[in-house]
Amino acid sequence: MHINKPVTIAVDTGNKLIKTANTSFVAGIETISENLKVSSSNPLDTIKYNGASYSVSLRRTKWERDKTQDQTYLILTLLGIAREIAHRGLPATLDIILAIGLPPGHMREEAIVKRYKDYYLTNGGNYFFTCGGRSHNIHISDVVVCPQGFAAVMLLDESVVKLPNLYMIDIGGGTCDTVHFEYGIPDNREVSIDFGVIRMYAEIQKRLDAKYGRKISETKIDDILIRGDYEHYSPEHIDLVHEEAERHMQALIAKHVDLGLDLKAAHVVFLGGGTVLLENQIRKIAGGSVGGLTVMGDVRANARGFEMFVEAARGM
């Protein structure tokens, strides 16, 4: 039997990463053969659902504006739910309220919101799957679609939230979504541009190949930008990666200014997986382009905000 009170679990389904309040992993899966023994340090990397087995892949799925076209993101979401259940020590038979996010501009389109709700409520929201050595029986009793950026503001100190001019810039894999607040009240100045870090990856890969004849994966780019991994790449290769990352950040700021956002007159909060990747570039470039700066270095910020958003709305 399912427990009586549904548990809120947020899954932030990015084009680069899947995030829950306490976990994150690459937004990539691959089908695996039943005869293939998969060895992984994390048993939650594999899932058996609807007669097929899948494994988390380091190669992300291709960028999709509409993530409801096939079952890829459904399986990724179930993996996220299983990981969050394991982290919290919850039972594998569970009623949940699923909190997901969309860019604020998409929230005005009722058809889009309905499409995402219907996507997860197929078959009455009942899902049976095996993950991490446990048989899960999950019932999604409701899907709450939360506005990205707006939800994450709930994690900020009130002194920042109540500022007269506040922008939240969420840098993701495929898009960069920006929302605006005045004295803690959101307005309609929302910007969503297709300028996430996936575009930056492509430029780095193209330039490194053209100039040096070298191939580089997105994971290795992450290593260079976040962890300073220089192995097997010369200083010139490393410089190119950092140069292109700075160029991407400069262009991102310029695009916001071109759209009429006066960032110098505002406090700007950067968040999202792209922010973690580009933190050094943000501090170097955006620091001189905005009135005030906060960098949220937790890729799970939106997911955590989604859960707070749902619980506040439902008085939990």
- pLDDT (0 to 100) of residue 316: 53
Percent of the chain with pLDDT over 90: 66
Distance of alpha carbon 53 from alpha carbon 32, whole angstroms? 6
Instruction: Give the pLDDT of residue 1.
Output: 42
Q: What is the CATH architecture of 7-147?
A: 2-Layer Sandwich (3.30)
The lowest-confidence range among 21-25, 218-222, 225-229, 258-262 is: 225-229
Q: Hey, do 7-147 and 158-197+221-298 end up sharing a CATH topology, with the first three levels equal?
A: yes
Could you read off the pLDDT of 233-246 as tens digits, one per residue?
A: 899 999 999 999 99
Give the percent of the chain with pLDDT over 70: 95
Span 170-190, average pLDDT: 88
Q: Which CATH number fits domain 158-197+221-298: 3.30.420.40, 1.10.3720.10, 3.20.20.70, 1.20.58.100?
A: 3.30.420.40
Sketch the domain layout of the chain as residue ranges: 7-147, 158-197+221-298
Which whole number is the average pLDDT over 156-183? Answer: 92
pTM: 0.90
The overall average pLDDT reported for the chain is 90
Average pLDDT over residues 19-29: 94
Please determine, for residue 227, whether its predicted confidence score (pLDDT) is greater than 90: no
pLDDT digits (tens, 9 = 90+) for 256-308: 999 999 999 999 999 999 999 999 999 999 878 999 999 998 899 999 999 99
